Amino acid sequence: MRWLTIISRCVLALFFVGGGINHFVGAEFYLRMMPPYVPWHEAFVVVSGVAEIVLGVLLLLPKTVRLAAWGLVALLVAVFPANVHMALHPELFTDFEPTFLWVRLPLQGVLILWVLFHARRPVNRAA
């Protein structure tokens, strides 16, 4: 079972590090995601990208898994309004079917639960 947890962490780490890198490679996409009421679009795209990369890497280190997981939960909650903005304005995201933009919203909850799985305290095997 332990190896499944390790694989799960590695997949999550790759997902977040890759997503973070994409904030810089495809910044224009992330800028379109920003709701108009959020200030400093460019700064938030950069900060969220760096956070995804750093927290994704920290997810791989046993001593920082819990910190990384809670940081990723906070990040996922913080970016949720951008996902709602996407669903409400499909005309800005013509590469995606409007239905997909709505389906993404509950998937964010699934992703949060997956990350929270890694935020739990490890079972003490010596007891």
Question: With 80 as the cut, is the pLDDT of residue 74 above it?
Answer: yes
- Is 16 part of any domain? yes
Domain count for the chain, please give it: 1
Say if 122 falls within a structural domain: no
Task: Tell me, yes or no, whether 37 lies in a domain.
Answer: yes
Could you read off the pLDDT of 84-119 as tens digits, one per residue? 999 999 999 988 999 999 999 999 999 999 999 988
Which pairs from 117-124 meet CB under 8 Å and 24+ separation? Answer: 117/8, 118/5, 118/8, 118/9, 118/12, 118/59, 118/65, 118/66, 118/68, 118/69, 119/65, 119/66, 119/69, 119/70, 119/73, 120/66, 121/66
Domain membership of residue 124 (yes or no) is no
Residue 16: what pLDDT? 96
Q: Report percent pLDDT > 90 for the chain.
A: 78
Is position 9 within any domain? yes
**Contacts (Cβ under 8 Å, ≥6 apart) of 2:** none
Q: What sign for the dihedral angle of Cα 6, 119, 15, 20?
A: negative
Is residue 33 domain-resident?
Answer: yes
At 2 the pLDDT is 83
H/E stretch holding 87 reads helix 65-88
Residue 107 forms part of a structural domain? yes
Q: What's the pLDDT score for residue 123?
A: 47
Over range 72-80, report the average pLDDT.
95
Q: What is the domain extent for residue 60? A: 2-117
User: What is residue 38's three-state secondary structure?
Assistant: coil
Inside any domain, residue 123: no
Q: What is the predicted pLDDT for the residue at 127?
A: 39
Residue-level pLDDT at 126: 43
pTM attached to this predicted model: 0.86
Q: What is the mean pLDDT of residues 49-58?
A: 97
